[in-house]
Chain A
Amino acid sequence: MIKPIPPAFLYIVGALFIPFFKGRLKPLYLLSVSVIAFINLFFMEAGTRWVHPFLNYDWIFLKVDRLSLIVGYIFILIGFLAILYSLHVKEDGQHAAGFLYIGSSLGVIFAGDYFSLFIFWEIMAVSGVLLIWYHRGKESLDAGFRYLLMHFFGGSSILIGILIHAYSTGSMIVGPLENSWASLFILIGFGLNTAFIPLHTWLPDGYSEGTVTGSVFLSVYTTKTGVYVLARCFSGVDLVAYMGGVMALYGVIFALLQNDTRKLLSYHIVSQVGYMVAGVGIGIPLGVNGGIAHLFNHILYKSLLFMCMGSVIYMTGKRKLTELGGLAKQMPVTCLTCLVASLSISGAPGFNGFVSKGMVLSSVVEAHKPILELLLFLASVGTLLSFTKLCFYTFFAKNQTIQTKEAPWNMQLAMGATALLCIFYGVYPQALFNLLPFPPVSVHPYSTSHVIGTIQLFLGAGVVFMMVRSAFSPLEGMVLDFDYFYRMAFRGIAWLADVAFNGLRLRVQTAFSRRIDGVVRLSRDPMLIFERIIAYFQPNVEGFYNPETGRSKIDEPIYDENWYRKPMGLGVLLAILMLFIYGLIYILQSKMG
């Protein structure tokens, strides 16, 4: 029998071969990698390991248990569907970025030691940003840089935590962390990927600027790997549980004010991930099972929502609710699948969100956390309102100006299949329960009180929505988030570096240059001294020199900042890389040996 290999390698190595396939072979190749990865995973059992000793250190690239298996399954399944959705994309780079992103996420999931986890974590950040940058345009470029900056900050925090952890405990096995400085740094890094408030701003910023297909990938992996590592290392931490409640409510309040469809969906990722974080933070088996079940279901309906809105953008070129409307007849498949996804995320009976949301809420009650229950309840109401608004203003509101047709076949097929899965796991939740990390799962989601209660919640909110619908009308504009403070702080730093420090440098340089140039000129022509005296007493007379640069105006070169920036940036990058490799070798040899 063939020994299973880490699924991450299949995608990462698979990305290298994408340019070699042309024509009809390309879609087949792209899809077959996920099929092989799924079969490979299917034959893995809890306890399977893939350890590679190197530099006196055991790199554990594969460590399988029930928790990693269920997340691995859904990652590969949705990877297949997202690739199907993006088959029409001609650029190999986009497909390769998607493969690297899926592969690195799977690498994090199956990593058994912190160093392998960290390396895959960073590949995930870099490949994720490519999915934003491929959208091109200034907004995407800027959003990508902000995404990268925040993720590198998170990555650095994790690295610091890992190093402290390695020195204090001598262990590098991924597992529950004690309360310490190491765990604090690691929690900040994990929390950033999981969109903890106020470290979440990269998410709505970046995901709304990704390519149509790239945002489908993005909506799945980064935050869910965050939830996974929290479940692995910080399960049962109260701070994490309450952070989940705050995220759930914060996300919906911001979502209600969004006009950009993908920004609205992005804020709902923050909110829905809040449910998972709450479940994982509760820490009891029902909570972790609920959190992971919600992760599984959320991946299905959220990627479906991004597919639907991606189709709308792809076909109409419009992304704002104020510009959309009346698409139900022109894009029936997109409309129907979007309704399925909206009902799923809102937790309607018969759809997958109903099951897992109920599990998280039950775990909160079981752990006796009333405030958390109220926060999650309120978030449920907000989710329903947001998606009523999204569907209404995209598909049903009157708009005669848009003439379009349904999305390409591959997009429709991916949306249809994902919608069917949302319904399947809603009506037959046992299929999901069998995979959850803490068996046996004795949950009865379709109890009378739960079904009636959910319908009551929907109708209560629906009645108010009908009465004050104008309160939910989309508005042209944007809502400032915490990134306002980051941006202002960075502008302050930029001002300090450019105006204050660089200004001081220029003044000093100008002063010295003037003196030296003066001496040189005077030594050539001593009679110039009289001219200088006149210029001194009549400062308005145009001089020989540019006061900004201190150079003669005649031979002053045109300043191109990139000419200086590029080698500097490359140098810094190489220095950081070398420092990291040096540190890694040093630690592995001195501590782990």
Chain B
Amino acid sequence: MMKTLKIVIWVMAIITIFVGFFVAREHDSFFWHRIPSMEAVFGVLGTLILIFLSRILALIAFKKEDFYD
């Protein structure tokens, strides 16, 4: 089940990234709007950035549940 899901996600990712090169952009205000399939890059980079930020936060502020008691 999980294996099939993984394959479907990979295949869909490749297809939509490919399609993204041929789709007219809605906005053209900032430079990243001109990069084809920019959202896929945002998805990957954003996840990595969030993992990084949440790990830093965990290092600083993650405590036992009875911390205030």
Report A's interface with B, CB cutoff 8 A. Answer: 252-254, 256-257, 362, 365, 368, 370, 373, 377-378, 380-382, 385, 447-450, 452-466, 468, 471, 475-481, 484, 487
Report whether A378 and B50 are in contact in the complex, using a CB–CB cutoff of 8 Å. yes
Lowest 5 A-B CB distances belong to which pairs? A460-B43, A381-B46, A456-B40, A464-B47, A459-B13
Measured CA separation A373–B39 after assembly (Å): 12
B39 smallest CB distance to A (angstroms): 4
Report B's interface with A, CB cutoff 8 A. Answer: 6, 9-10, 12-13, 16-17, 19-20, 23-27, 29-30, 33, 37-44, 46-51, 53-55, 57-58, 60-65, 67-68
Report whether A453 and B57 are in contact in the complex, using a CB–CB cutoff of 8 Å. no
**Most B C-beta atoms less than 10 A away, residue of A377, A465, A476, A484:** A377
Measured CA separation A453–B64 after assembly (Å): 40
Other A-B contacts than A253-B50, A463-B43, 9 sampled, CB-CB below 8 A, are A381-B47, A381-B50, A385-B50, A449-B25, A453-B38, A456-B20, A464-B44, A465-B47, A484-B61
A207 smallest CB distance to B (angstroms): 17
Report whether B39 and A478 are in contact in the complex, using a CB–CB cutoff of 8 Å. no
Chain A to chain B contacts (Cβ below 8 Å), 12 pairs: A257-B57, A378-B42, A449-B23, A449-B26, A453-B20, A456-B16, A456-B39, A459-B13, A460-B46, A464-B48, A476-B65, A479-B63
Report whether B63 and A480 are in contact in the complex, using a CB–CB cutoff of 8 Å. yes
Measured CA separation A380–B57 after assembly (Å): 19
Report whether A253 and B44 are in contact in the complex, using a CB–CB cutoff of 8 Å. no
Considering the complex, give the chain A residue whose CB is closest to the CB of B68. Answer: A487
Report whether A456 and B37 are in contact in the complex, using a CB–CB cutoff of 8 Å. yes
Query: Which residues of B have CB within 8 Å of A476?
Result: 65
B9 smallest CB distance to A (angstroms): 5
Measured CA separation A378–B46 after assembly (Å): 6
B51 smallest CB distance to A (angstroms): 5
Measured CA separation A465–B13 after assembly (Å): 13
Query: Which residues of B have CB within 8 Å of A365?
Result: 27, 29-30, 33
Report whether B50 and A478 are in contact in the complex, using a CB–CB cutoff of 8 Å. no
B54 smallest CB distance to A (angstroms): 5
Measured CA separation A480–B51 after assembly (Å): 18
Contact residue among B24, B40, B50, B60 (Cβ-Cβ distance under 8 Å from A449): B24
Considering the complex, give the chain A residue whose CB is closest to the CB of B53. Answer: A253
A160 smallest CB distance to B (angstroms): 31
B50 smallest CB distance to A (angstroms): 5
Report whether B43 and A456 are in contact in the complex, using a CB–CB cutoff of 8 Å. yes
Query: Which residues of B have CB within 8 Å of A460?
Result: 13, 39-44, 46-47
Instruction: Given A466-B9, A478-B63, answer yes or no on A370-B30 (Cβ-Cβ < 8 Å).
Output: yes
Measured CA separation A477–B63 after assembly (Å): 6
Instruction: Given A253-B57, A449-B25, A471-B51, answer yes or no on A455-B12 (Cβ-Cβ < 8 Å).
Output: yes
Contact residue among A457, A466, A481 (Cβ-Cβ distance under 8 Å from B42): A457
Report whether A457 and B54 are in contact in the complex, using a CB–CB cutoff of 8 Å. no
Measured CA separation A454–B38 after assembly (Å): 10
Measured CA separation A475–B62 after assembly (Å): 10
Report whether B54 and A253 are in contact in the complex, using a CB–CB cutoff of 8 Å. yes
Report whether A459 and B68 are in contact in the complex, using a CB–CB cutoff of 8 Å. no
B36 smallest CB distance to A (angstroms): 10
Report whether A368 and B29 are in contact in the complex, using a CB–CB cutoff of 8 Å. yes
B23 smallest CB distance to A (angstroms): 5
**Most B C-beta atoms less than 10 A away, residue of A463, A466, A468:** A463
Report whether B24 and A448 are in contact in the complex, using a CB–CB cutoff of 8 Å. yes
Query: Which residues of A have CB within 8 Å of B33?
Result: 365
Query: Which residues of A have CB within 8 Å of B30?
Result: 365, 370, 373
Contact residue among A257, A370, A447, A461 (Cβ-Cβ distance under 8 Å from B26): A447
Report whether B65 and A477 are in contact in the complex, using a CB–CB cutoff of 8 Å. yes
Report whether B47 and A461 are in contact in the complex, using a CB–CB cutoff of 8 Å. yes
Query: Which residues of A have CB within 8 Å of B53?
Result: 253
Contact residue among B43, B49, B67 (Cβ-Cβ distance under 8 Å from A457): B43
Contact residue among B19, B43, B57 (Cβ-Cβ distance under 8 Å from A461): B43
Contact residue among A378, A463, A484 (Cβ-Cβ distance under 8 Å from B44): A463
Report whether A450 and B26 are in contact in the complex, using a CB–CB cutoff of 8 Å. yes
A526 smallest CB distance to B (angstroms): 54
Measured CA separation A491–B41 after assembly (Å): 47
A290 smallest CB distance to B (angstroms): 14
Contact residue among A373, A382, A484 (Cβ-Cβ distance under 8 Å from B46): A382
Considering the complex, give the chain A residue whose CB is closest to the CB of B44. Answer: A460
Considering the complex, give the chain B residue whose CB is closest to the CB of A450. Answer: B26
**Most B C-beta atoms less than 10 A away, residue of A365, A457, A487:** A457
Query: Which residues of B have CB within 8 Å of A477?
Result: 62-65
Measured CA separation A484–B62 after assembly (Å): 12
Measured CA separation A448–B20 after assembly (Å): 10
B42 smallest CB distance to A (angstroms): 6
Contact residue among B19, B25, B43 (Cβ-Cβ distance under 8 Å from A464): B43
Report whether A466 and B6 are in contact in the complex, using a CB–CB cutoff of 8 Å. yes
Report whether B62 and A257 are in contact in the complex, using a CB–CB cutoff of 8 Å. yes
Measured CA separation A481–B25 after assembly (Å): 40
Instruction: Given A252-B50, A463-B10, A471-B51, answer yes or no on A377-B23 (Cβ-Cβ < 8 Å).
Output: no
Query: Which residues of B have CB within 8 Å of A471?
Result: 51, 55
Report whether A456 and B17 are in contact in the complex, using a CB–CB cutoff of 8 Å. yes
Query: Which residues of B have CB within 8 Å of A380?
Result: 46
Query: Which residues of A have CB within 8 Å of B19?
Result: 452
Query: Which residues of B have CB within 8 Å of A464?
Result: 43-44, 47-48
Query: Which residues of A have CB within 8 Å of B48?
Result: 464
